[in-house]
Amino acid sequence: MQPPPTGSEILDRAIESLRTPQDSRPPDLTIQRTVSALWSAELRRQRMRTRWVMGIAAAVVLAVCTSATLLVLQARHSMRTIVIAPPPTIPTPPPPTPGTHIPVQPTAPRPQKEQHTAAEDNAETTTVQPAAFTSEVRITGHVYYDGPPVERRPIDLSICPQCMRILPGPLYDDSLIVNQDGSLQNVIVSITNGLGPHEHYPPGDPVVLDQKYCTFEPHVVVAMVGSRMTVRNSDPLVHSTHAINSTSVPAFNFAMPGVTERTLDPFRNGDTFQVHCDLHPWMRAWVCVMPNPYYDLTRGAGTYTIRDLPPGTYQLTAWHEVLGTMHKEVTITGGEPAVVDFTFEGRQQDN
Amino acid sequence: MVDWDGIVSREGPAVWRTLYRLLGNRADVEDCFQETFLGALAVWNREAVQHPQALLQRMATARALDRLRKRYRTTGREGGSAELESVSSASPLPPHAAEAAELGQRLRDALTLLPQKQAQAFCLFYLDGWDYHDIARQTGGTVNAVGVLLHRARQRLRELLGDLVETTSKSES
Q: Give the model confidence (pLDDT) of A2-40 as tens digits.
A: 666 777 888 888 888 887 766 678 888 888 889 999 988
Three-class SS of residue A316?
A: strand
Angle of CA points A309, A314, A317, to nearest 5°: 100
DSSP label at residue A286:
E
Fold of the domain spanning B4-172: Butyryl-CoA Dehydrogenase, subunit A; domain 3 (1.20.140)
Q: Determine the distance in angstroms separating the CA of A57 from the nearest CA of chain B, rounded to an integer.
A: 22
- What is residue A297's three-state secondary structure? strand
Q: What is the pLDDT of residue B93?
A: 59
Work out the percent of chain A whose per-residue pLDDT is above 70: 80
Instruction: Give me the pLDDT at residue A104, please.
Output: 39
On the 0-12 / 13-18 / 19+ scale of CB atoms within 10 A, A21 is: exposed
Residue-wise pLDDT for B43-67, tens only, equals: 888 888 888 888 998 999 999 999 9
Handedness of CA B129, B132, B133, B136 (dihedral sign): positive
The verdict on whether omega for the bond into residue A218 sits within 30 degrees of 0, i.e. cis, is yes
Mean pLDDT along residues A310-330? 91
pTM of the model: 0.43
Q: Which of A19, A38, A39 sits opposite B21 (nearest CB)?
A: A19
Contact list, A43 vs chain B (CB under 8 Å): none
* For B40, nearest residue in chain A (alpha carbons): A38
Cβ atoms of A85 and A259 within 8 Å: the answer is: no
Give the pLDDT band (50/70/90) at residue B86: very low
Q: Flag whether pLDDT at A84 surpasses 50.
A: no
pLDDT recorded at residue B35 = 92
A248-280 exposure pattern, b = at least 16 Cβ within 10 A, e = fewer: eeebbeeebebbeeeebebbeebbebbbbbebb
Choose among A203, A211, A207, A205: nearest CA to A254.
Answer: A211
pLDDT band, very low/low/confident/very high, at A167 (cuts 50, 70, 90): confident
Closest partner residue to B8 (CB to CB) among A8, A31, A41 is A31
The reply to whether ipTM tops 0.85 is no
- Is the predicted pLDDT of residue B91 greater than 70, yes or no? no
Q: Which tens digit of pLDDT belongs to each residue from A38-63? A: 988 888 888 998 999 999 999 999 99
Which residues of chain B have a CB within 8 Å of the CB of A14? Answer: 103-104, 106-107, 161
Whole-number percent of chain B with pLDDT over 90: 31
pLDDT of B106-123, one tens digit each?
888 899 899 989 999 999
CA distance A72 to chain B (A): 43
Cα(A189)–Cα(A304) distance, rounded to whole angstroms?
7
Residues A106-144: b if buried by 16+ CB within 10 A, e if exposed: eeeebbbbebbbeebbeeeebbebeeeebeeebbbbbbb
With contact defined as beta carbons under 8 Å apart, do A193 and A291 qualify? no
What is the predicted pLDDT for the residue at B154? 92
Instruction: Give the nearest partner residue to A11 out of B17, B22, B161, using CB atoms.
Output: B161
Residues in chain A within 8 Å Cβ distance of B168: 4-5, 10
Q: How far apart are CA A332 and CA A81, in angstroms?
A: 51
Cβ contact B112:B69 at 8 Å: yes
**What is the model's pLDDT at position A121?**
44
Separation of alpha carbons B46 and B56, rounded Å? 15
The pLDDT value recorded for residue B77 is 53
Report how far residue A84's alpha carbon sits from residue A258's, in angstroms, rounded to the nearest whole number: 12
Is the pLDDT at B168 greater than 70, yes or no?
no
Residues in CB range of A34: below 8 A, 6 or more apart: B8, B12, B33, B34, B37
**pLDDT for res A59:** 94
Chain B residues whose beta carbon lies within 8 Å of the beta carbon of residue A30: 16, 30, 33-34
Domain range summary for chain B, segments of one domain joined by +:
4-172
Model confidence over A228-269: pLDDT tens digits? 899 999 998 888 888 988 887 778 888 888 788 888 888 888
Q: Which amino acid belongs to residue B27?
A: A
* Mean pLDDT confidence for A77-91: 52
Are the Cβ atoms of A38 and B8 closer than 8 angstroms?
yes
Q: With both helix axes pointing from N to C terminus, report the angle between B52-90 and B95-112 in degrees, rounded to the nearest 10.
A: 130
CA geometry: angle at B66 spanning B61 and B69, to 5°? 125
CB A13 within 8 A of CB B100: yes
Helix (H, G, I), strand (E, B), or coil: what is residue A272? strand
Mean pLDDT, residues B62-76 taken together: 85
Burial level of B97, CB count in 10 A (0-12/13-18/19+)?
Answer: middle
Chain B residues near residue A15 by CB distance under 8 angstroms: 107, 126-127
Query: What residue in A sits closest to B98 (Cα-Cα)?
Result: A17
Report the SS3 class of residue B139.
helix
Summarised one tens digit per residue, pLDDT across range B1-43 is 678 888 898 889 989 988 988 888 888 899 999 999 999 988 8
**A300 with A123: CB under 8 angstroms?**
yes
**pLDDT over 70, % of chain B:** 83
Q: Are residues B4 and A42, on separate chains, in Cβ contact within 8 Å?
A: yes
Task: Give pLDDT tens digits for A94-115.
Answer: 554 444 444 434 434 444 444 4
Report the gap between the CA of B166 and the closest CA in chain A (Å): 8
pLDDT at A136: 78
Each residue's pLDDT tens digit, A131-156:
334 467 789 999 999 888 888 888 88
Give the nearest chain A residue to B32 (CA atoms).
Answer: A34
